Structure 1
Amino acid sequence: MGHAISTCMEFTFDHSSSASTLPDQEEPPKSVFTNSDSIEEIMYLHHVVLKHYWGQNYVSPVVLSSDNETKPKQVLDLGCVTGLWTVEMASISPTTNFVGVNPFSIFPKSAPSNVSFYQQNILNGLQFDDNSFDFIHERLSLSDFTKKQWEDTVLHEIVRVCKPGGWIELLESDACICDKGKVLRRIGRSCKKLFLSKGLVPNLGQFLQTLLRSNPQLTDVHYIENDMPLGKRHGKFGELAVRDLMLSWNAIKIPLSQIMGIAPEHFEAILEAFINEVNVQDLYWRTYRVIARKKTLDEMNERL
């Protein structure tokens, strides 16, 4: 496409099952992003683009490392995939213990000593005790869970393993990343139809905000939006964000082409049109964070 950008991959990954794995584990959840050859680059781009435009790796009011504390913080990176966030955070917070969980074994071959990776499927229940983690981080699971799974299992498990007074932070985007640009609108609306056909939640931001607010164990729920500009007019990271989106769409081009009513080989032309559009129009990728605090035992008792 004449749009190649070097991303300087910083990690190599282990595709074997060497990470801790549960016996007799059920098949991992089905994602619309199935077996993409570009998964490692996509995850890398997610990480660097989101960190740049948000300016930080998390926004919750959590102090992860302190030399004055006798007991280290415990952090869960849920759906860590290739573990980039987990490893980076562990490197800068050496007195905090980090646990990365993912249903697929594509973890880094090496990591700091304060990191552990486990191959687990949250839909089977997380294999951790109640009240285990001070901070739970999750990002970009838009294509991973249906509405019913979020309501019946995923949030329940997240809240269960979070310590009283601990924080939960979900970083997500919607299927329609913005409602501007003729081509971008077409892709976004097609993604929305595809997600709905799979029982997924295309407008995950509003859904998660409502879901967290309705949970009686959670308080201090905040919703924060961040519109990340796209295209070469916004420098290297504007271009990297475009590449991230194109690789992600290309990973679902077969079902997306069916929704659009075009042959998969014609999807390349759609991406070319998007490149032309994004470099002349003011387009953006809307992301958001939903954060919440689990109530302390005293706060829970006040309700009784």
Structure 2
Amino acid sequence: MASASRWEKLLLRPALTGAADTLTPTSIPVFLYGTAWKKEQTADLVYQALCAGFRGIDTAAQPKHYREDLVGAGLRKALAEGKARREDVYVQTKYTSVGGQDPHSIPYDPSSSIAEQVHTSIKSSLLNLRPRDDPSSEKDAYLDALVLHSPLPTTDETLEAWTTLEEYVPHKIRNLGISNCPLPVLKTLYGSATKVKPAVVQNRFFPGSKFDVPLRQFCRENSIVYQSFWTLTANPTLAWSAEVGLLSHQAGISPQAALYCLVMGLGNTILLNGTKNAGRMREDLAAPGIVGKFAAKHPENWERILSGFNKLIGETQTA
């Protein structure tokens, strides 16, 4: 599952195993730039993140909290200036059901069927995230992943949305996933999906979910990449723990970056990073490589720190 370096990126499971038209498996970088709540700054920050070295972007078709249109604008500017190539950037967005939308800015007709809502949402996302300013370049647009922003109110509705998403895989959408998802729902979805299994799960990593220990175990067992968000904001105790402090000191990185790297160390895990600070962008992006070298040079120290971190979150198995 890991790439040449687990500290750089992971490979997602091929969406259509054995299919003749399956594309090359998608690489997902260890950091996705999180674009929630960036508002009018979104385009500039996405451009800045790509210039700093981010090669993954997370957004959503949810105007209440995201400006997906401005994410696209920032991406196109970076592509046009040669700061990045589209094939090297992992672009992920979400379908958000009616319950998660502002009724005044829903990107589809809320009275339509779930399937029609999904179709319209995807069409809007492909236009927003097209590779060039010319609207006709929508025909060349694709998404590296489309994530259900949350389970729908019923299992049948969740599966209807998922089955509709499967129609776009693997060409317009490379992979599918789900966010804000408890383990029982994930197990049901995984068992019921007949064409495309979930490739990613994006959840809050925080004490309220007991750090998703059983869910992350299920993800490891089934080649699902876990995407951690709210990692810093929700975990001040972890950020100032002895284990984070030791890694920060011994590897020469910030405590925040050390926490990020210890979460990556749990295995099959990448993180959302939404910093607005250009210096922090560069420091955070450099940290996994620094920790990878530290772990290779001082394996006993790394294992001791990681083991202590595992105990803090109730983890009993490491990658």
Q: Which has the higher contact order (CA 8 A, sep 6+)?
A: 1
Question: What TM-score do the two structures reach when normalised by structure 1?
Answer: 0.30
Question: What TM-score do the two structures reach when normalised by structure 2?
Answer: 0.29
Higher share of residues assigned helix = 2
